[in-house]
Chain A
Amino acid sequence: MAISREEVAHLARLSRLAVTEQELDQFAGQLDVILQSVARVGEVAADDIPPTSHSVPLTNVYRDDVPQPCLTQEEALSGAPDAFEGRFRVPRILDEEA
């Protein structure tokens, strides 16, 4: 059941966390301990038990389809690290050749 340093590195990549070598060493051991503890849920015989994702038995909650006030463009952009011409500005997402 042990989680390897390589697995933690892979999970960090999936999670978009540029973790350092030092963090990897630290997290791998700690996550191993946590996983061994939480793996106890497997002791429970629950094959025929339905899962609970939520305690409130509400589904498909919609509001009436009438216009509501919302944030202005300026307000929506007010916290952006970088904005340009009314848009969020992001680093390049495609290679130049593409």
Chain B
Amino acid sequence: MATEVGPTSVKAPASGGAPIHHAPKGVGEDNRIATQGRWAAWLLAPTIVALSVVIVYPIITAIVMSFQKDAGVDASGFFVEGGPAGFSNYVNWIFQQCPAPGGGTVDCPPGTLGAQFWSATGTTFFFTIVTVTLETVLGFWMAVIMARAFRGRSLVRAAVLVPWAIPTAVTAKLWLFIFAFEGIGNKLFNTSVLWTGSEWPARWAVIIADVWKTTPFMALLILAGLQMIPAEVYEAAKVDGASAWQRFRMITLPLVKPALMVAILFRTLDALRMFDLPYILTGGANNTTTLSILVINQIRQGFNAAAALSTITFIIIFLVAFIFVRFLGANVVEQQTGAGKGKK
């Protein structure tokens, strides 16, 4: 937990920073530091402007929009602007309250998007947990194989990347053909499963396609972590008589953990936004509607409620990322310094 972050950040001022700052008390030195600071700020400014334009601005706009009502049709049949909405868009999603014909709200009837919010949230987390678990296990296994030296290793590494290189929409189409009723999936196993037409098969169809596609990504990230472990460590362990399992548990796992946590974090955030696969495979039918699909469907019906929903989605993903970084020690930024220190 905190031990990962602690040493590096606490050490920094004590070891490196402090002496240089305060030892030479010359006026010129002070000035130079000030100039450097100003320079740094100006050099950073373009990046900050760019980030503001592409990140801060859309987020603020989305939040502003989410407090506006969607346009509705007036008596003459034309759309008029909705005006301020307060929290009604958020209430629509979280408490599943939809506008009632006579004014006020009712429980969202099945068939409205509002009625699908919690099931979509559940589906999204279900997919995330199952796919990331499977991908981590399979990815680890693939990485361990690829890390060994054998003939044709580079070929295997390249081949493994193929599913990852195919655009997701194309992957989804491929699997749609495989999972069709007359498709090769049913032919091969001589079954007649309605893969995209019933609840559990539809879910497994999405999971299988996703695992097929993104395991290579996991494998490569983990492979990068494995290769940073020096061979001498293993040799030493062997000399000391550690079994293969012990070497894996006591050396590989702890040393690969930083890379592994980053890989899991990336995949989790990615999976929480899953859209193309279920959208193309099932159209969101049979309980495969994820939050992203719900957002896209809502955009067609009204931007402002969609803005509220994407803000909610943003907060959910943000919280998950926060939990990862804060409590599970996924350390994206300082990973390199940490690893470097570990080597020394």
A, B bound? no
